[in-house]
């Protein structure tokens, strides 16, 4: 069973490892260090425009998620999600984790924070990731052409969004 809690200092080595292992699918460009993680952890504790959560499966830490770049004036935020690298490689497990994350973050963002729109930016070669977003109810809103240089070539970036009024409505 997927549950959520606070990110703690003891999670940082796992997050660093998983982010470094998955750099090719993330917007991250450099290898993270322990110092980078310590600075990030300090920042997220103070930053009112980020709401981050640890993800657990039967009490085992498996990743993190959250709402970042929260803009209370315009009532929107970006979704961030990182799964344990081994789970991320298993399509069915990744889907299970991601759907649980999307549901929790939509409930939290729309009901607790009063947001109107949540969005996700995805590099175009992540087809399975985008299929999960669309299955959940996110709609493709924009394509940013040749936005990222990964794996030796340029890729588009796709923006998928969901609005409060559409959350939980299956079309």
pLDDT in tens, 21-52: 998 888 888 899 999 999 999 998 889 999 99
Q: 102: closest CA among 79, 75, 78?
A: 79
pLDDT at position 171 over 50: no
In a domain, residue 106? The reply is yes
pLDDT at position 155 over 90: yes
Given pLDDT bands bounded at 50, 70 and 90, which one contains residue 169? low
* Structural domain boundaries, residue 23: 2-166
pLDDT of residue 170: 54
In a domain, residue 113? The reply is yes
In a domain, residue 140? The reply is yes
Number of domains in the chain: 1
In a domain, residue 30? The reply is yes
CATH code at position 159: 3.40.630.30
In a domain, residue 122? The reply is yes
pLDDT of residue 6: 95
In a domain, residue 171? The reply is no
Arithmetic mean of pLDDT, 86-115:
96
């Amino acid at each position: 069973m997927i549950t959520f809690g606070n990110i703690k200092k003891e999670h940082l080595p796992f997050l660093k490892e998983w982010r470094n292992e998955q750099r090719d699918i993330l917007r991250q460009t450099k290898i993270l260090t322990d110092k980078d993680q310590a600075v990030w952890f300090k920042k997220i504790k103070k930053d009112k425009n980020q709401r981050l959560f640890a993800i657990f499966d039967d009490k085992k830490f498996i990743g993190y998620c959250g709402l970042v770049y929260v803009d209370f004036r315009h009532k929107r935020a970006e979704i961030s999600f990182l799964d344990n690298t081994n789970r991320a490689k298993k399509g069915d497990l990744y889907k299970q984790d991601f759907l649980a994350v999307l549901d929790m973050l939509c409930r939290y963002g729309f009901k607790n924070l009063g947001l109107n729109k949540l969005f996700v930016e995805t590099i175009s070669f992540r087809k399975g990731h985008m299929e999960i977003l669309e299955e959940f109810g996110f709609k493709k809103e924009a394509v940013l052409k040749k936005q990222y240089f990964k794996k030796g070539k340029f890729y588009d970036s796709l923006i998928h969004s969901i609005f409060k009024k559409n959350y939980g409505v299956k079309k």
